[in-house]
Amino acid sequence: MNKKIGLITGLVLGAGLISLALLKRYRRIQSEGLAWQKLRRPSLDILACPDCRGTLIILPISGGEAYHCLACQKDYPVVDGIPRFVQPQEMTGLNKRFSEMYDWFSWGYRIFSKIAFAYIGMSEEQARREVTDRLEPKGGRVLEVSIGPGVNLPYLLGRMDVGEIFGLDISPGQLNRCREYVAHHGWDVQLQLGNAEHLPYQDDAFDGVFHLGGINFFNDKKMAIEEMIRVARPGSRILICDENEKGAQAYERFLPSFKRMAGESREVIEPPMDLVPLEMQEVRVFNVWKGWMYCIEFRKP
């Protein structure tokens, strides 16, 4: 009887301590998030309506504010400091399926990333710098398309040749983890929820644009590539990377949900070199991450 009472008491105390720790974490995240939101700038000289590319203004709405397009009259609400240029109910096809997968996967993405790099035999820093160090923003603005939880940010922030950083993702869950991450560090990073096939930015807005993981299963890869080119300034280097067939098969072995989302009869993955416009300069494709990923690199003329 005494052992049973002791066990119940221990369980109650343990649950209480866990609840207290979670409450403290929640309060910290809330406090840090509010502080980070004060760093958010309207960026009306950078942002544009993703549907018509019209000029945006900020309007107060019930409970907050929204970006309003003067041309097509659409409103895009700001939620927890992140403008939402796409709504979950608007997504279709692979975009919808993978957005939902990454929403729940966002909680374990960082741990999975570290395990994956240990498996292929390189440090995370070495792997991520293999891509990010190829950017040449020359002190200008950088955009990461599909920023996820922000795992590439430590290798951009603090670089003398990197100015403002913008990050876009289609997954609310990934962006929430990214917001918590940048808020905890007090980083001045501007985040947007949006579709890579309809980027919410003006033409020629960025001095460096890169995408690391995801384009293989976009609804429209061609449109996404054209959009990354559109928002890059002339002379900018653009990097587009994703898993090759070897990497995709590894995902399918270790992540059953990946195979379900991609479909049982998916096509063999090939770098979409044929979708890069012929006028692009210095075009090349090469493998990174010890042959598990491809990287397409080119410069906008």
Domains in the chain, CATH or no CATH each: 80-299 (3.40.50.150)
**pLDDT for residue 58:** 95
**pLDDT for residue 134:** 97
**pLDDT for residue 91:** 93
> Sorting pLDDT into bands at 50, 70 and 90, what band is 259?
low
* Entry pTM: 0.90
Asked whether the beta carbons of 194 and 85 are under 8 A apart, the reply is yes
Q: State the DSSP code for 223.
A: H
- Using alpha carbons, list the distances in angstroms from residue 216 to 91, 109, 193: 17, 18, 19
Rounded CA separation 210/135 (Å)? 8
**pLDDT for residue 264:** 64
Give pLDDT tens digits for 110-160: 998 999 999 999 999 999 999 999 999 999 999 999 999 999 999 999 899
> Sorting pLDDT into bands at 50, 70 and 90, what band is 253?
confident
**pLDDT for residue 266:** 78
> Sorting pLDDT into bands at 50, 70 and 90, what band is 12?
low
Computed over every residue of the chain, the mean pLDDT equals 90
Give pLDDT tens digits for 55-97: 999 999 888 899 999 999 999 999 999 999 999 889 999 999 9
Rounded CA separation 294/301 (Å)? 23
Asked whether the beta carbons of 234 and 300 are under 8 A apart, the reply is yes
Residue with tokens 């992540």: 255
Neighbours of 251 (CB within 10 A): 17
Taking residues 190-194, what's their average pLDDT?
A: 97
- Please give the radius of gyration of the chain, using alpha carbons only, rounded to the nearest integer: 21
**pLDDT for residue 35:** 76
Give pLDDT tens digits for 203-247: 999 999 999 999 999 999 999 999 999 999 999 999 999 999 988
Residues 6+ apart with CB under 8 A from 282: 237, 297, 298, 299
More confidently predicted of 6 and 76: 76
Rounded CA separation 52/74 (Å)? 10
> Sorting pLDDT into bands at 50, 70 and 90, what band is 9?
low
Neighbours of 233 (CB within 10 A): 16
Residue with tokens 């279709």: 92
Report residue 240 as tokens: 């587009």
Report residue 225 as tokens: 């590539």
More confidently predicted of 229 and 12: 229
More confidently predicted of 18 and 32: 32
More confidently predicted of 36 and 52: 52
Say whether 26 sits in a helix, a strand or coil.
Answer: helix
| Buried/exposed code over 34-43 (b: 16+ C-beta within 10 A; e: otherwise) | eebeeeeeeb
For residue 165, pLDDT over 60 is answered with: yes
For residue 28, pLDDT over 90 is answered with: no
Helices (H) and strands (E) in the chain, counts: 8, 11
**pLDDT for residue 8:** 61
